[in-house]
Amino acid sequence: MDVKEYIESGILELYVAGQLSGEENLEVDAMAEKHPEVRHEIEAIEAAVLGLSGSLSGVQAVDFNQIKDKLEGGERDVIHIGNTKTSWFTYTGWAASVLLAVGLLWLYNSNQELRTQVDAASEEKLQLEVQIANANNSLEQTTELLNTIREKGISVVDLAGQQVSPTSYAKVYWNKEEEKVYVDAMGLPEPPPGMVYQVWSLKLDPLTPTSVGLLDEFTSDENRIFALSNTNESEAFGITLEPAGGSESPNLEQLYTLGVVSS
């Protein structure tokens, strides 16, 4: 909080009114020592309060014995108690000071509550904007994917589950002209911690695997559709489970899905 915000927060009025804790008073003292404008603001607030409270120096002591004697003697004359005008304004001033302190405290609490509401609203607005942006990005990606897989010349390869996971399945959309493959991995289970799925392009005779890429961020990607580059003359595709970072050659004991490119 900068000095201007600190002054406008209402804490200086509470300081002058004596409504702060000891720790908060020390904080205000430190700010006043460090920033002359804070000290000047405190002095201005004190002057305003003193101006409202009036002067106590003009009040004369009241002789209650004198009042008693006059009442017992049956006298009904007006009894002048010091400087009546001064006393009235003095008491009125102090009452105004008390009301000022109470009002400042109320304003401070209201201000803090309003700030909390504004912060909450700003946070909610930011989250909504992020959700909208993510939704727009997801829609654009989905539209792009649909347009891609509907193009002519796209090879669709079904990958069936293997011995390690018979229920697993995946699908590869291969755009040979653009040398890209889109892997739909919705049928794969989430990989264990420290493991990652790796996609392989295969030549069958002799069996020659070439890594196409990793299915990173598998858990965070709800669609589980991944775009990878493939410059190979692929005859089949396979997906294995490998240690994080991938492997130079596939672990065939962890071969989850496999599919042959149709002629």
The CATH number of the domain holding residue 221 is 2.60.40
Q: Is the pLDDT of residue 109 over 60?
A: yes
Q: Is residue 45 part of a domain?
A: yes
Give yes or no: residues 69 and 162 share one domain.
no
Give yes or no: residues 8 and 119 share one domain.
yes
Q: pTM score, two decimals? A: 0.48
- What does DSSP say about strands 255-260 and 195-204: parallel, antiparallel, or unpaired? unpaired
Average pLDDT value for residue range 121-142 = 63
Residue 136 token pair: 């727009």
Give yes or no: residues 111 and 166 share one domain.
no
Contact 81, 64 (CB under 8 A): no
Mean pLDDT, rounded, of the chain: 77
Q: Is residue 143 part of a domain?
A: no
Give yes or no: residues 118 and 21 share one domain.
yes
Environment class of residue 175 by beta-carbon count within 10 Å: exposed (0-12), middle (13-18) or buried (19+)?
Answer: middle
Q: Is residue 50 part of a domain?
A: yes
Environment class of residue 104 by beta-carbon count within 10 Å: exposed (0-12), middle (13-18) or buried (19+)?
Answer: buried
Final residue before a domain boundary, out of 109, 126, 143: 126
**Residue range 158-168, pLDDT digits in tens:** 999 999 999 99
Q: Is residue 133 part of a domain?
A: no
Average pLDDT value for residue range 28-46 = 88
**Residue range 58-98, pLDDT digits in tens:** 444 444 455 445 445 554 444 444 444 444 445 455 556 65
- Nearest of 153, 38, 21, 16 to residue 98 by alpha carbon: 16
**What single DSSP character describes residue 56?**
S
Domain holding 96, by residue range, is 3-126
Residue 231 or 110, more confident: 231
Q: How many domains in the chain?
A: 2
Give yes or no: residues 100 and 15 share one domain.
yes
In the block, residue with structure tokens 């720790």: 23
Give yes or no: residues 89 and 181 share one domain.
no
The counts of H helices and E strands in the chain are 6, 8
Give yes or no: residues 91 and 161 share one domain.
no
Final residue before a domain boundary, out of 126, 146, 164: 126
Q: Is residue 54 part of a domain?
A: yes
3-state secondary structure 65-123: HHHHHHHHCCCCCCCCCCCHHHHHHHHHHHHHHHHHHHHHHHHHHHHHHHHHHHHHHHH
The CA distance from 45 to 40, in Å, is 9
Q: Is residue 38 part of a domain?
A: yes
Give yes or no: residues 110 and 15 share one domain.
yes
Give yes or no: residues 168 and 244 share one domain.
yes
Q: Is residue 12 part of a domain?
A: yes
- Partners of residue 200 on adjacent β-strands: 211, 238
Give yes or no: residues 256 and 192 share one domain.
yes
Looking at residue 224, its pLDDT comes to: 86
Give yes or no: residues 197 and 255 share one domain.
yes
What DSSP string runs through 177-217? TTTEEEEE-TTSPPPPTTEEEEEEEEEETTEEEEEEEE-TT
Looking at residue 228, its pLDDT comes to: 92
Average pLDDT value for residue range 13-26 = 84
Residue 10 token pair: 């209402």
Final residue before a domain boundary, out of 126, 145, 165: 126
Give yes or no: residues 19 and 95 share one domain.
yes
